Amino acid sequence: MVRYVRHLEQPSTPQSQRAKPGQHKNAAGGYTFIIDDWAALDRWLVLGAEGGTYYATERKLTRDNAQTIARCLDRDGPRTVARIAEISAAGRAPKNDPAIFALAMAAGHDDPSTRGAALQAMVQICRTGTHLLSFVDAVRKFRGWGRGLRSAICRWYLQRDARDLAYQVVKYQQRGGLSHRDVLRLAGGALAKQSLSEAQRAILRWVVAGADYGPRTVHRREGGKALYGAVDPSALPEPIVAYEAVKAASPVEIPKLITDHRLTHEMVPAEHKGHAEVWAALLPHMPLTAMLRNLGRLSSLGVLTPMSDAARLVAERLGDHERLRRARVHPLSLLVALETYRRGCGVRGSLTWAPVGTIADALDEAFYAAFDWTPPTGRKRLIALDVSGSMGWGSIAGMPGITPRVGSAAMAMTTMRSESQWHVLAFASATRHGWHAPDPDDGLMQLDLSASMRLDEVVDRLSQLPFGGTDCALPMRWATKHRVELDAIEIYTDNETWAGDIHPHQALEQYRQTLGRPCKLAVVGMTATRFSIAAPQDPDMMDVVGFDSTAPKVLADFIRQDG
């Protein structure tokens, strides 16, 4: 009998060749699809380009993404600004720097409506003093100092009540060589036209002239017009008064001042930060993000010890998941804190400490709680982790020690924790020279993992696996060979696939035809490149941004939907 069906079978094309017209050569030399500009914008806003990747430097990756942002702004500037604000305000990204950079580009765009939308959104995106300083530093590269920019900066300062404004200018005094004093001078006469309260005038006067200003008046450079007027120093709010008091205090007086005025560590002179008493006073009111960054220091100084009240307080705060959400603590920040703390030493410097087990456990649980969750899908899910050489290079969002390989293991645990039907494996090409493995099992590594494992255990196991080339078709080839019934395959990768004799989308189609199952493919991109192995024409394939805090929910919703 003539096998007419053979004419409908999906052909196999080496990844070093183009399989479809829409494919382009990726940085590794293989052919993949290109995600659209809006999806690329999301990748940039969440993952950034700090540290670069195995195949692209930070400079090249930033330039490529800047071109993407520019295209989005040209196409629909207000929509682009709204997307920047949405991801930033929801705390979906580990760092706010990519959003600030994109906002600065929008604020310098030729289209007036785009500029206006960007400057209007500035207060929403630049939520702290350090965000403002970063924005001002960036926006000067894209535009001059016009009325709109000066007005937006005025709004940032004047929308805050006196205490919050004082807190911002004391806690975040400088960033990248730029201070609030510099910003206020650049804003110039715009503030002179505003209606200022006595406390606001006193704060801004203090920023420009310091504490010892007496009854003098600050003048604009041109024309000699008074900017803030003479101000009584007694009008200064408590945070500034306390900060000035700490600068003049003796070491024994500082802990009480910290406790009475809830000062942060940025408000304490550097010469006093080596004392345990100072950090013990800071801890009860320390912001969550600052606490995460300083767990090692607190342990090194003996503030955090097993079964101590301080250790119990830290564990309780990490267990308050609603508090973590309100503080916009990103899962990646918790992963960095866990990886650093359990190691017992910093990435840089000579600081060492003995980790406290209850704190490590609390960090582990807090990591999962920081994601946006959805009910389990009940579907059969294969979790495939790319462990090729490029995945062990660089860091996600510039976070020290968190390579794409480590990050993929952490994200995989979110599925393992939420679902009952899953299997996880790691893959890399069996050779490093582009020749495929005849047997897909040669490139697959079974991982003996369980959902009850601590995250650091999973990362340790993954870190010990051998490296190889990238062949993202291996999970589908393995599932086809072993006739594994699946509803969805999740591949965590940098999409730099190049080493196989069949493209991933072709391998998925072969799996579907062989097993007669409408299996879905979710590609979790772990770097901010424009490449993807998901065919854009296939509605049952989707790209997800790695370490977007909404990723588990997005994945589950996609897998749960009927095609």
**Residue-wise DSSP of 389-455:** GGGGSS-GGG-TT--HHHHHHHHHHHHHHH-SSEEEEEE-BSSSSSPPPSSGGGGEEE----TTS-H
Q: Is residue 49 part of a domain?
A: yes
What's the pLDDT score for residue 232? 66
Residue 210 and residue 72 share a domain: yes
pLDDT (0 to 100) of residue 413: 87
Judge whether 15 lies within some domain.
Answer: no
> Do 464 and 401 share a domain, yes or no?
yes
Tell me whether residue 2 is in a domain.
Answer: no
Domain region containing 87: 37-240
Q: Is the pLDDT of residue 435 over 50?
A: no
Does 245 fall in a domain? no
Q: Does residue 211 surpass a pLDDT of 80? A: no
Both 214 and 306 in one domain: the answer is no
Number of domains in the chain: 3
189-197, long-range: CB < 8 A, 24+ apart:
189/220, 189/225, 189/227, 190/147, 190/150, 190/151, 190/153, 190/154, 191/154, 191/157, 191/158, 191/227, 191/228, 192/220, 192/225, 192/226, 192/227, 192/228, 194/154, 194/158, 196/158, 196/228, 197/162
| pLDDT digit string, tens, across residues 315-352 | 999 999 899 988 888 888 998 899 899 989 887 778 89
Same domain, 78 and 170: yes
Same domain, 353 and 404: no
Domain endpoint, select from 187, 206, 240: 240
Does residue 18 lie within any of the structural domains?
no
Task: Give percent above pLDDT 90 in the chain.
Answer: 50
pTM of the model: 0.86
Q: Are residues 395 and 295 in the same domain?
A: no
Asked if residue 357 and residue 277 are part of one domain, the reply reads: yes
Q: Are residues 342 and 421 in the same domain?
A: no
Q: Are residues 64 and 184 in the same domain?
A: yes
Q: What is the DSSP letter of 114?
A: H
DSSP H helical ranges for 226-308 = 238-248, 254-261, 276-282, 288-293, 295-300
Domain's final residue, options 350, 369, 388: 369
Same domain, 236 and 273: no
Check whether residue 318 and residue 435 sit in a common domain.
no
Distance CA 259, CA 372 (A): 35
Res. 371 pLDDT band, cuts 50 70 90:
confident
What is the pLDDT at residue 54? 64
Q: End-to-end CA distance of the chain, in Å?
A: 34
For the stretch 475-530, pLDDT in tens is 999 999 999 999 999 999 988 888 888 999 999 999 999 999 999 999 998 888 88
- Report the distance separating Cα 149 and Cα 115, nearest Å: 9
Domain co-membership, 361 together with 390: no
Alpha-carbon 424 to chain mean position: 25
